[in-house]
Structure 1
Amino acid sequence: MRPRIIQGDDQIGFYWSTPTGSPTSLQALVAVDDEPDRLMATHLEALDDALIIAAGRFGEVLGGGRPPADADQRDGLVELYRTLDRLCLEFATAQELTGFGVDLRAGKIVGTAALFSIRARLPLDLLGPAPFDGELDDPSIGVIGGFGEFHHVDPDTPWKGGRWVVRTEAGQRFPLTLAMLFFDSSGVNKDAARKEHRDALQAVVTAARSPAADPLTVSCAVDWLLYDWLMAHREDPDSAEIVFPKGYEDDAALVVSAAATSVSARATFDPGLLGLIA
């Protein structure tokens, strides 16, 4: 007998079961299975199916069309983000254990799952502040002239992250996103911006392992940078499907590791995630 996936009719997501029927995790299975690649492929396929079901059930809320209708829907969003977080972390941990590479399909699916998790936490007020929150100027209506720049919170402490801002000649700093740079700005070197953003996200992921890194600050930093990247790399403005431009296929691995870094950081203080990194 083989391990199998368990998912009830009304269940959000799924979990793995051993051949004898005991609940387990993907990383526990791949450590002893003769065909870990099959298990990981099955995990991704089931996660993709779970995302389709979640989009049908929570799509309007995840898309920002309306807030949760009632307490039951809020509870559903809590279960959704915690389940997706667990499944993303299981895949990332199993990938690290096996040494298998992260292909585009894995990056797309885990990226969409991470985006759903962030969008599910947004109406629940479970997202921490973005870098420089409360420190930037409020833009007025109309076109703003200035220079799009990536600003680090503290260049000597990369796990604190950073964000894009518009710096005007008068010295004001206005909020900016990677998507705005790509699609609403002129004279932008998109490849350079994409690389700078990628390097900043990678720096947070790497520095998050430091004993000095504060988990709450790390989670805020990586969530913002990952969310900003994902929103700028959707197939279209109405889609949650993530695309990787030609020549940037290696970014799939970063998306997976960034999603896992966020979950690991939040698992130190989110009661619903406690035990995931034990």
Structure 2
Amino acid sequence: MRPRIIQQDNQIGFHWATAGGLPTTLVDLVGDDDEPDRLAATHLSALDDAMIDAARRFGELLGGGRRPTQQDREDLAELYRSLDDACLDYARAVDVLDMRPDSRAGRIIGTAVLMSILARQPLDMLGPAPLDGELQEPTLGVVGGYGEMVYVDAARPWKGSRWVVRTESGARLPLTLSMLLFDSSGTNRDAARTEHIEALRAVTSAAAHPDADPYGVACALDWLLYDYLMAHRDGPDSAEIVFAKGRDGDAGVVVAAAAASVAARATFDPALAVRRG
């Protein structure tokens, strides 16, 4: 008998079970399995199915269509926990296997990250974005200036960064990758995507620094991931992520950043503490 996915009707998310029926994880399975690649692919398929079900059940809540009831809040909490667990489990498994996540893995994990963020939003579980409170509010109309990725503290990359418009007058206004890619003139889109991915990579790499504050790391990663993923949705009403042509290599960065975000939040979110190790 093979290990199997447990994903029952009305269950939020899924989990692995051994051939003997005991709960387990993907990372614990792949080290001793004859077909670990098959297990990793099954994990992604189960996560994809779980998200399709979650979108059907909780789409109105995730889209901000109504305020959550107490039961909704409990369901959204279970949703983000299951998604976060699945993302971290997959990332750890591919590390054990020394695999490079492909574009399919990046699309599914990226969609799960975005859904987790949208589930945490009505629960007030999202921290401030980098430079929050330090930027000026834009006025109505066309804004002249240039966009740049601004780091909170170049000497402490775990504090993160974000896109900013620097106007001719020197004002700094908030900017998103979506605005940069689709609403701005004269933008080198591929270079912007590369710079954003490098910013994600910088925070992910610095997350393990002994001086890094896990809460700050989580806020920095969640913002950079959210900004990137919102700019790479399949459509304005979709949470499905698609990579731009020729950008399949970004998948590995998204998977690693997703895992680093969960690991950081597990240090102060008791619901994720089981995943610290």
Tell whether the structures are fold-level matches, with TM greater than 0.5: yes
* 1:127 maps to 2:126: yes
State how far apart, in whole Å, the 1-side matches of 2:218 and 2:261 are.
5
Percent identity of the aligned residues? 64
Q: Which residue of 1 aligns with 2:37?
A: 37
Give the match for residue 14 of structure 1. Answer: 14
Counterpart check, 1:77 vs 2:76: yes
Q: TM-score, normalised by structure 2?
A: 0.98
Residues 8-157 of structure 1 correspond to what in structure 2 (within 5 A)? 8-68=8-68, 70-157=69-156
Q: CA deviation at 1:277?
A: 2.1
Superimposed CA distance per residue, residues 20-59 of structure 1 (whole angstroms, 9 cap, x where no aligned partner): 1111111001111111111111111100000100100111
* Equivalent position of 1:212 in the other structure: 211
Give 1:121 deviation, angstroms: 0.6
Task: Give matches, 1:152-231, under 5 Å.
Answer: 152-231=151-230
Counterpart residue number, 1:266: 265
1:179-213 CA-to-partner distances (Å, cap 9, x unmatched) read 00011111111111111111111011111121221
Q: Distance in 2 between matches of 1:245 and 1:228?
A: 15
CA distance in 2, matches of 1:237, 1:7: 29
C-alpha displacement at 1:64, in angstroms?
2.5
Structure 1 residue 143: Cα displacement: 1.9
State the AA in 2 paired with 1:148.
G
Aligned-partner SS, 1:21: coil
Which runs of no fewer than 5 residues in structure 2 stay unpaired?
Answer: none
Counterparts of 1:101 and 1:190, CA distance in 2? 25
Cα distance in 2 for partners of 1:134, 1:118 equals 21
Distance 1:261 1:93 in 2: 10
Report the Cα offset of residue 150 of structure 1: 1.0
Question: Structure 1 residue 252: deviation in Å?
Answer: 0.6
Amino acid corresponding to residue 149 of structure 2 in structure 1: F
**In structure 1, how many angstroms separate the alpha carbons of the residues matched to 2:32 and 2:246?**
35
User: In 1, distance between residues paired with 2:79 and 2:242?
Assistant: 23
In the aligned structure 2, how far is the partner of 1:40 from the partner of 1:198? 24
**Counterpart of 2:113 in structure 1: which amino acid?**
A
Amino acid of the structure 1 residue aligned with 2:67: P
How far residue 67 of structure 1 moved from its aligned partner, in angstroms, is: 2.5
2:23 maps to a residue whose letter is P
Mapped to 2, the partners of 1:273 and 1:25 lie a distance apart of 14
Distance 1:66 1:185, change over 3 A: farther
Partner deviation per Cα, 1:56-108 (whole Å, 9 max, x = no partner): 0111221233332x110111110000100000000000000011221111110
1:262 alignment partner AA? S
Aligned to 1:232: 231
Q: Partner letter of residue 37 of structure 1?
A: D
Count of aligned residue pairs for this structure pair: 277
Which ranges in structure 1 are unaligned for 5 or more consecutive residues? none
Q: Which moved more, 1:104-113 or 1:206-215?
A: 206-215
Tell me whether 156-165 or 57-66 shows the greater mean CA deviation: 57-66
Residue 213 (structure 2) pairs with residue 249 (structure 1): no
CA displacement at 1:19 relative to structure 2: 1.1
SS of alignment partner, residue 228 of structure 1: helix
SS of residue paired to 2:148:
strand
- Taking the aligned partners of 2:208 and 2:242, their CA distance within structure 1 comes to 28
RMSD: 1.0
Q: CA deviation at 1:10?
A: 1.6
Shift of 1:268: 0.5
